[in-house]
Amino acid sequence: MSDNRKITVNALTRVEGEGALHVRVSGDQIESVKLTIYEPPRFFESFLRGRAIEEVPDITARICGICPVAYQMTSVHAIENALDVEISSGVRALRRLLYCAEWIESHVLHIVMLNAPDFFDCHSGIELAEKFPDRVNDGLRIKKIGNRVLEVLGGRAIHPVNVRVGGFYRLPSRDELTELLSDLRWALDAAIDLARWVATFDFPELNIHCELVALQNDDEYPMNEGAIASTIHSPISVEEYEQHFGEQHAPHSTALQSKRRDSAAPYFLGPLARLELNQEQLFPAARKLAEEICPPIPLRNRFHSIIARSIEVVHALEEAIGIIEAYQPPPEPFRPYQHRESEGCAATEAPRGMIYHHYRINDDGTVASSKIVPPTSQNQLQIESDLRDYLPRLLDQPDDIVAAECEKLIRNYDPCISCSTHFLTLEMERT
Amino acid sequence: MNKKRLGVFKFASCDGCQLSLLSCEDELIELAGMIEIVHFLEASSRVDPGPFDVALIEGSITTEKDAQRIREIRHQSKTLVTIGACATAGGIQALRNWADHEEFIASVYAHPEYIETLSTSTPIADHVAVDFELRGCPIDRHQLLEVLAALIADRSPRTPRHSVCIECKRRGTVCLVVTQGLPCLGPVTQAGCGAICPAYDRPCYGCFGPAAQANCPALSTHHLAGATTETQMVHALRNMNAAANVFQIESDRLESGST
Ligand code: SF4
Ligand code: SF4
């Protein structure tokens, strides 16, 4: 094997959106690891300027077809924060229901179709289905039920139409929701089985200490709100996010990457971080399951992400069932509000990690400026750093195996490259 | 029968349209048995070279390299189908076509000099011949299945060209224009979604693009006579299908004040 190696994955597969990986090795030294995002930028922040705040959730949804609810939720919460709109408790519960449905749909897609194939040397979920038809079929059925909830409450699963500032356009009737219960109950049992199966996979050991960041909430497993908690630093409020975290646009980087302003170390978001920081808030079945299958805290092995995701699916199903069982339509679908000059922000938990939005609003109710920080731009530095730690043990393998193993590691973060509102295209500059 | 070779390709987009294929939970496995998935990065790490019997194209053209890439895909594909508003009309990112591109970039990036994109977002049909266009942001999965079934059977796909209004009537939804005077784009928007928005008490915002024979000026005149302002009407037309021909002509006309 030559001393200087360049290992390239030209097109990452089974991730959402498109990117590449470039690794340069000299002898046994890892010289550089670059995750290249070649999604062309789509300039959302720019064209939101001047649009009415009422249009924002429909526009930001289009940032990502995999987690449109995360974008819609974060937008409306941030705008409501700016305008001091207090949503009703009933609307709040329905928003959690919508978010649960997206977690179910997105997580199960990732578990069964994108991630699990890696543990069985399959190229796709479809190939996996040849080996484990029942598992894959159950997974697809659970996913479909998540989509069904999105369709009933949101109008459709991808880019739902029912979310608006202040609440929803139309409230579902009790019957519309309770009809979903029997399917959801089946899905809960199936998801517990699925999680138990996932826990039996053969996981590579990759224990890397780093800062985990997730929302934290005294009353519930975090989705729509909470303080920004960390395994290293004390919690901060969402309002303080930009004081502590910033985006950099480095010449050799292909994306705006987030990091703590006062530290060079990256941080890590997503299901493992959420679970580590919020395990006590899991609903009973999920909690029991976590005690049974979740590796002990601290959760440091990146390959265990799929276990965390499976536990979160169970939690989301339990919570969805609870919300629907208790549902009484609130008195009004949305709270009225007044336009005024203001600014506000919000952070929520997208399936793949925390997402932050900030808006300044003009007195006529149009957007003056916006800032959108998707989860993947926050995880990107951590992914590169983890690859650097993982690579040395792979180096005695041929290039194609190294490349395939790196790709497997990357899938653990469920990177959602489409949601790179402002990731940019750039050839790597080599020195 | 030889299985049809399928390629799914992504350009500037949100992934939502190709996700619609993975959202055909009931049909996916069966479908995979009837076609050969040759290139579908989001779903499979087995990536083989063309040619393709069917290429599904998601996303719009926003870089010089992508303009080149779509030409190569066209060369290798017997039938090329665009899926969604991005591929068919340029998508929401076509809003840049109205903006100062340099300023757009500078407002997001600290180092604008590292960015290389075209100042426009254009539909696939501006670059290569397209055999069939599937509308929607996102596409409707039943329509997608109809297209795939047709292509497998070597027949032309059938999707309606009439307006969302017809679907509202079918669904039994009370008209929002007549009863509440809301600025609905249903009368000029192509059917396919099943008239979702009006059923959720909100006006259609045109995500399936213009219907055949859409009369946009007449609709603007109607809405502007009510409580809708010109800016609201322009914005309604400038969403995911802003650069679709008749929507673009109408929003430009309204903006230039020639009403
Ligand atoms: S048309 Fe809409 S749903 Fe489809 S890729 Fe484009 S933005 Fe996403
Ligand atoms: S009603 Fe209009 S905006 Fe709503 S989903 Fe249908 S075509 Fe799209």
Amino acid B140 reads D
Alpha carbon B73 to its chain centroid, in Å, reads 19
Beta strands A353-361 and A342-350, pairing class: antiparallel
| Distance in Å, alpha carbon of A7 to nearest chain B alpha carbon | 17
Q: Write out the two tokens for B53.
A: 């019997």
Of B37, B47, B239, which is closest to A11 when you measure between CB atoms?
Answer: B47
Judged against a pLDDT cut of 60, whether residue B132 lies above it is answered with yes
For residue A416, say whether it is annotated as part of any ligand binding site. yes
Judged against a pLDDT cut of 80, whether residue A109 lies above it is answered with yes
For residue A419, say whether it is annotated as part of any ligand binding site. yes
| A271 close to B (CB below 8 A) | no
Rounded CA-CA distance A86/A91 in Å is 10
Which residues of chain A neighbour B239 with C-beta distances below 8 Å? 55, 58-59
Q: Which ligand is nearest to the CA of B167?
A: 2
Alpha carbon A214 to its chain centroid, in Å, reads 11
Which residues of chain A neighbour B95 with C-beta distances below 8 Å? 43, 47
pLDDT in tens, A24-41: 888 888 888 887 766 667
Per-residue pLDDT band at B115 (split at 50, 70, 90): low
Distance A335 CA to ligand 2 centre (A): 24
Rounded CA-CA distance A22/A384 in Å is 10
- What integer pLDDT is reported at residue A100 of this predicted model? 98
Q: Around A349, how many Cα atoms within 13 Å sit in the side-chain half-sphere?
A: 33
**Percent of chain A residues past pLDDT 70, beyond the cut:** 92
Q: Which comes out higher in pLDDT, residue B29 or B89?
A: B89
What's the average model confidence in pLDDT over B201-219? 96
- Whether residue A19 lies inside any domain: the answer is no
DSSP A13: -
Number of domains in chain A: 1
- Whether residue A22 lies inside any domain: the answer is no
* Preceding peptide of B138 cis, ω within 30°: yes
- What integer pLDDT is reported at residue A38 of this predicted model? 64
Q: Which ligand is nearest to the CA of A419?
A: 1
| Distance in Å, alpha carbon of A39 to nearest chain B alpha carbon | 7
Contact A65 B138 (CB under 8 A): yes
For residue A64, say whether it is annotated as part of any ligand binding site. yes
Which CATH number do you get for residue A344?
1.10.645.10
- What integer pLDDT is reported at residue A427 of this predicted model? 28
Per-residue pLDDT band at B117 (split at 50, 70, 90): low
Q: Which comes out higher in pLDDT, residue A427 or A365?
A: A365
Rounded CA-CA distance B230/B183 in Å is 11
Q: Which atom of ligand 1 is nearest to the CA of A159?
A: 3
DSSP-assigned beta bridge partners for residue A343: A360
Judged against a pLDDT cut of 80, whether residue A418 lies above it is answered with no
Contact B41 A13 (CB under 8 A): yes
- What integer pLDDT is reported at residue B29 of this predicted model? 85
DSSP-assigned beta bridge partners for residue A370: A359
- What integer pLDDT is reported at residue A429 of this predicted model? 28
Distance B233 CA to ligand 2 centre (A): 16
**Candidate ranges A401-410, B106-115, B124-133; pick with highest mean pLDDT:** B124-133
By the 8 A CB rule, do A143 and A191 touch?
Answer: no
Which one, of A324, A394, A398, A315, lies nearest residue A351 by Cα?
A315
- Ligand 1, residues A39, A59, A62, A420: which to mutate, most atoms within 8 A of Cβ? A62
- What integer pLDDT is reported at residue A101 of this predicted model? 98
- What integer pLDDT is reported at residue B25 of this predicted model? 86
| A232 close to B (CB below 8 A) | no
- What integer pLDDT is reported at residue A250 of this predicted model? 56
Looking up tokens 């519309």, which residue turns up?
A: A176
- What integer pLDDT is reported at residue A424 of this predicted model? 30
Dihedral in degrees, nearest 10, Cα atoms B107, B110, B111, B114 = -70
- What integer pLDDT is reported at residue B1 of this predicted model? 59
DSSP A52: B
By the 8 A CB rule, do A312 and A103 touch?
Answer: yes
Residue B242: strand, helix, or coil: coil
What's the average model confidence in pLDDT over B208-227? 95
Structural domain boundaries enclosing A180: 44-419
Residue B111: how many CB atoms within 10 A of its CB? 15
Rounded CA-CA distance B13/B90 in Å is 9
| Least confidently predicted of A44-58, A366-380, B72-86, B152-166 | A366-380
B201-221 CB burial, b ≥16 within 10 A, e <16: bbbbbbbbbbbeebebeebbe
- What integer pLDDT is reported at residue B259 of this predicted model? 56
Amino acid A25 reads V
- Whether residue A1 lies inside any domain: the answer is no
| A126 close to B (CB below 8 A) | yes
- Whether residue A37 lies inside any domain: the answer is no
- Ligand 2, residues B92, B169, B185, B189: which to mutate, most atoms within 8 A of Cβ? B189
Q: Is the CB of B188 under 6 A from ligand 2?
A: no
pLDDT in tens, A266-312: 889 999 999 999 999 999 999 999 999 999 888 889 999 999 999 99
Which one, of B43, B22, B32, lies nearest residue A123 by Cα?
B43
Alpha carbon B75 to its chain centroid, in Å, reads 23
DSSP A269: -
pLDDT in tens, A166-215: 999 999 999 999 999 999 999 999 999 999 999 999 999 998 889 999 99
Looking up tokens 């006529």, which residue turns up?
A: A364
- Whether residue A31 lies inside any domain: the answer is no
- What integer pLDDT is reported at residue B145 of this predicted model? 94
DSSP-assigned beta bridge partners for residue A214: A229
- Contact partners, residue A414, CB within 8 Å, separation at least 6: A15, A16, A106, A110, A114, A115, A270, A305, A309, A351, A352
Q: Which domains does chain B have, with CATH numbers?
A: 4-152 (3.40.50.700), 164-256 (no CATH)
| Distance in Å, alpha carbon of A373 to nearest chain B alpha carbon | 12
| Least confidently predicted of A9-13, A228-232, B197-201 | A9-13
Per-residue pLDDT band at B200 (split at 50, 70, 90): very high
Kindly report the average pLDDT of chain A as a whole number: 89
| A11 close to B (CB below 8 A) | yes
Interface test with A, best of B10, B13, B14, B168 (most A CBs within 10 A): B14
Q: Is the CB of B17 under 6 A from ligand 1?
A: yes
Greatest pairwise CA separation for chain A in angstroms: 71
Per-residue pLDDT band at B102 (split at 50, 70, 90): low
- What integer pLDDT is reported at residue A30 of this predicted model? 86
Judged against a pLDDT cut of 70, whether residue B16 lies above it is answered with yes
- What integer pLDDT is reported at residue B114 of this predicted model? 52
Alpha carbon B186 to its chain centroid, in Å, reads 16
**Percent of chain B residues past pLDDT 70, beyond the cut:** 92
- A residues 274-303 lying closer than 8 A (beta carbon) to B: none
Q: Is the CB of B82 under 6 A from ligand 1?
A: no
Which one, of A419, A332, A341, lies nearest residue A376 by Cα?
A419
Contact A47 B99 (CB under 8 A): yes
Judged against a pLDDT cut of 60, whether residue A252 lies above it is answered with no
Q: Which comes out higher in pLDDT, residue A110 or A17?
A: A110
Judged against a pLDDT cut of 80, whether residue A162 lies above it is answered with yes
- What integer pLDDT is reported at residue A430 of this predicted model? 28
Of A11, A129, A158, which is closest to B16 when you measure between CB atoms?
Answer: A158
What's the average model confidence in pLDDT over A32-54? 82
Q: Around A424, how many Cα atoms within 13 Å sit in the side-chain half-sphere?
A: 27
- What integer pLDDT is reported at residue A160 of this predicted model? 98
- What integer pLDDT is reported at residue A24 of this predicted model? 87
Rounded CA-CA distance A403/A400 in Å is 5
In A20-67, which ranges are continuous DSSP H helix?
A: 44-48, 56-61
Which one, of B133, B40, B43, lies nearest residue B80 by Cα?
B133
- What integer pLDDT is reported at residue A12 of this predicted model? 72
| A66 close to B (CB below 8 A) | yes
- Ligand 1, residues B13, B42, B88, B144: which to mutate, most atoms within 8 A of Cβ? B13
Judged against a pLDDT cut of 70, whether residue B74 lies above it is answered with yes
- Whether residue A284 lies inside any domain: the answer is yes
Interface test with A, best of B15, B27, B234 (most A CBs within 10 A): B15
Which one, of B146, B178, B156, B162, lies nearest residue B210 by Cα?
B162
Judged against a pLDDT cut of 50, whether residue A420 lies above it is answered with no
Distance spanning both ends of chain B, measured CA to CA: 58
- Whether residue A267 lies inside any domain: the answer is yes
- Whether residue A352 lies inside any domain: the answer is yes
Q: Which comes out higher in pLDDT, residue A331 or A19?
A: A331
| Distance in Å, alpha carbon of A291 to nearest chain B alpha carbon | 31
Judged against a pLDDT cut of 90, whether residue A46 lies above it is answered with no
Rounded CA-CA distance A365/A329 in Å is 29
